[in-house]
Amino acid sequence: MDKPFYLLAILLMFVFCWLIQEENQLWDQQRQLLKSANNKATHDALYAASELNSGHVRIDPVTASNLYIQSLQLNLGLDHMMQPKSGSPVYSGVRIVHFEIIDDFSGRSFPFIYENSSFNITKFLRGPAVVGVIEVDTPSIFRGSHSRVRVPAIYEYARAS
């Protein structure tokens, strides 16, 4: 009589393990997609750099922000409200939680160690840079509040030392 329960327990264990695996894979997949998109978006935002011939780099915040958003929309398949379009690889809207421009007019002298304790970022910056942090919610069964994926990216104009 206990055999059906034994088989059912095995089946439930299998389903449980499979779901955990799928959820972990999905989380990692989402993180890698976001990281790639954020890398390209910070790169594209640096196109707003001007005054290069004068030996200084000035990054226009409005243009850089627009390019950053546009790049995220193109690479992640988002609409103008940053919500996923049909066929997008992300499952919820993307939130830009931090966007910062550090150029030659920011009152910093390069190189220096950039630290942002709010987002746990520490990086040695050798030149003007764009910092972007985005986050997204992923579908979750087991992770609970850990289903949020938050990804930072920094792109810098590194000067030859």
Instruction: Enumerate binding residues for other proteins (CB under 8 A).
Output: 7, 11, 14, 17-18, 21-22, 25, 28-29, 32-33, 36, 39-40, 43-44, 47, 67, 71, 74-75
**Closer to other proteins at the Cβ: 108 or 127?**
127
- Minimum distance between the CB of residue 33 and other proteins, rounded to whole angstroms? 6
Residue 91's beta-bridge partner residues?
Answer: none
Smaller CB distance to other proteins: residue 11 or 158?
11
Q: Determine the Cα–Cα distance for residues 73 and 44; give it in Å rounded to an integer.
A: 12
Q: Are 102 and 110 in contact (CB under 8 A)?
A: no
Q: Which segments of the chain does DSSP mark as H helices, in order?
A: 2-45, 61-76
Based on CB atoms, which residue is closest to other proteins, 44 or 103?
Answer: 44
For 78, counting Cβ atoms within 10 Å of its Cβ (0-12 exposed, 13-18 middle, 19+ buried), the class is buried
Exposure string of 102-119, with b = 16+ CB inside 10 Å and e = fewer, is: bbbeeeeebeeebeeeee
Cis amide bond preceding 111, omega within 30: yes
CB of 122 to other proteins, least distance (A): 23
Q: How far is the CB of 110 from other proteins (least distance, A)?
A: 20
Sequence-separated contacts (24+) of 144-149 with Cβ below 8 Å = 147/27, 149/27, 149/30, 149/31, 149/34
Of residues 25 and 83, the one with the C-beta less far from other proteins: 25
If the CB atoms of residues 40 and 98 are measured against other proteins, the closer one turns out to be: 40
At its nearest, how many Å lie between other proteins and the CB of residue 150? 19
Q: Minimum distance from CB of 123 to other proteins (Å)?
A: 18
